[in-house]
Chains A and B, each alone.
Chain A
Amino acid sequence: MNCDDFLTAQETGGYFARWRARRHAARCPRCAALRASFAAVKQEWASTEPLSPRARQLWKDAAEEPARRGSPSRNWIVIAGGLTAAACVVLLVFKLAGHKPGKVTPSPYEIAKVKPPPAVTESKVTVVNPADELNELSDAVNQLDADLKQLRLKAERMDASRQVAMTLERYDKW
């Protein structure tokens, strides 16, 4: 190590540079003296004179002001705002990327190569009153019966008119 680099190596150098500086000082009396005098100066810097009463009073006066507590609500708002913004960004990215689903994870049945149980479907159960249902059925039957009677009458009339027409046609031949 160069004597010119000794002080900077000792004060601002890394671990290895400081080690080299110590080793250099052990062999170089000039740098050893420099090291000792700088250590003495640093020691004097560290020994400060006591504070004046005026300075103590200035410090005390500062404590007269009501202390401010940390504002947790403000912190909470900042955190909540940050989380909301992050969620919006994630949603926006998904939206812009078109949300392509990744590889579908196989179900346990597919892995075990076992037939899965039938899917459970939901069906709506309607509760009916049997008396009402019977009444509706009997009404429908009665309606059908009436329709049939009308159809039978119509058919009979048509049959009669055909017979009359055939008879008239026979007499016309004579």
Chain B
Amino acid sequence: MHRQFMEMLDAHGPALMAMLRRLCRGRHDAEDVFQDTAARIWRGFASRPRLRNPRGWVMTIGYRAYLDARERTRGHEELLDPPDEKHRPSEQAAEHSEACRNVNAAIAELSDPIREVVVCHYLGGLTLSQTATAMKISQGTVKSRLNAALSKLRSVLE
């Protein structure tokens, strides 16, 4: 079981960390949530359902861990890490193109509900229905938030 758990890290860990970095806006917060996610996955690993989409399962747990972390720190915002300038998502090594940097900057400026939908869907790889389930909102709401984000991204891309 330990080997399968580590295989899951190899398969989905980088994407999970990328998603959490964009959600948390900071590397240290993202690592805390990553650790919490790993613990949650390990706790539920033996009794996990038969997974058709393991990435969706991992990302949903990651998103829920992020929500819990955000809820814990909501009352004392001053304890949050400052935005991580050194490891801004837009300056990650994998993202070279100018278009991508502009898009990432535009995403960072979106309001939290819209940004989270974009991150879960495009970076987390969740389908629209999985995003709706993870965020506990309707699929129509997911689409409308995505549409709002896309109209903003369109102006950046053109």
Interface residues of A (CB under 8 A from B): 4, 7-8, 11-12, 30, 34, 37-38, 40-42, 44-51, 54-56, 58-63, 65, 67-70
Contact = CB atoms under 8 A, between A and B. Distances in A.
A63 B42 contact: yes
Contacts of A67: 1, 42-43, 45-46
A58 B35 contact: yes
B109 interface: no
Nearest to A64: B42
A49 B14 contact: yes
Contacts of A34: 154, 157-158
Interface residues of B, number: 44
A45 B97 CA distance: 11
Contacts of A12: 128, 143, 146-147, 150
A42 B151 CA distance: 16
Contacts, number: 107
Contact of A49 (B9, B46, B94, B150): B94
B157 A38 contact: yes
B38 A58 contact: yes
A48 B14 CA distance: 6
A79 to B, nearest CB: 16
A40 B46 contact: no
A27 B138 CA distance: 34
A1 B42 CA distance: 48
Interface in B43-84: 43-47
A49 B45 contact: no
A84 B94 CA distance: 57
Contacts of B95: 44-45
Given A7-B154, A54-B31, A68-B46, A41 B14 contact: no
A34 B150 CA distance: 11
B39 interface: yes
A8 B39 CA distance: 37
A11 B146 CA distance: 8
Interface in B102-158: 103, 122-123, 125, 128, 143, 146-147, 150-151, 153-154, 157-158
B42 A7 contact: no
Contact of B15 (A48, A55, A62): A48
A14 to B, nearest CB: 10
Given A55-B34, A62-B38, A42 B122 contact: yes
A11 to B, nearest CB: 6
A44 B15 CA distance: 12
Given A62-B38, A69-B46, A48 B150 contact: no
A51 B17 contact: yes
Given A7-B154, A12-B143, A67-B42, A45 B123 contact: yes
A49 B157 contact: no
B39 A62 contact: yes
A44 B94 CA distance: 7
Nearest to A13: B143
B39 to A, nearest CB: 4
Contacts of B123: 45
B99 A41 contact: yes
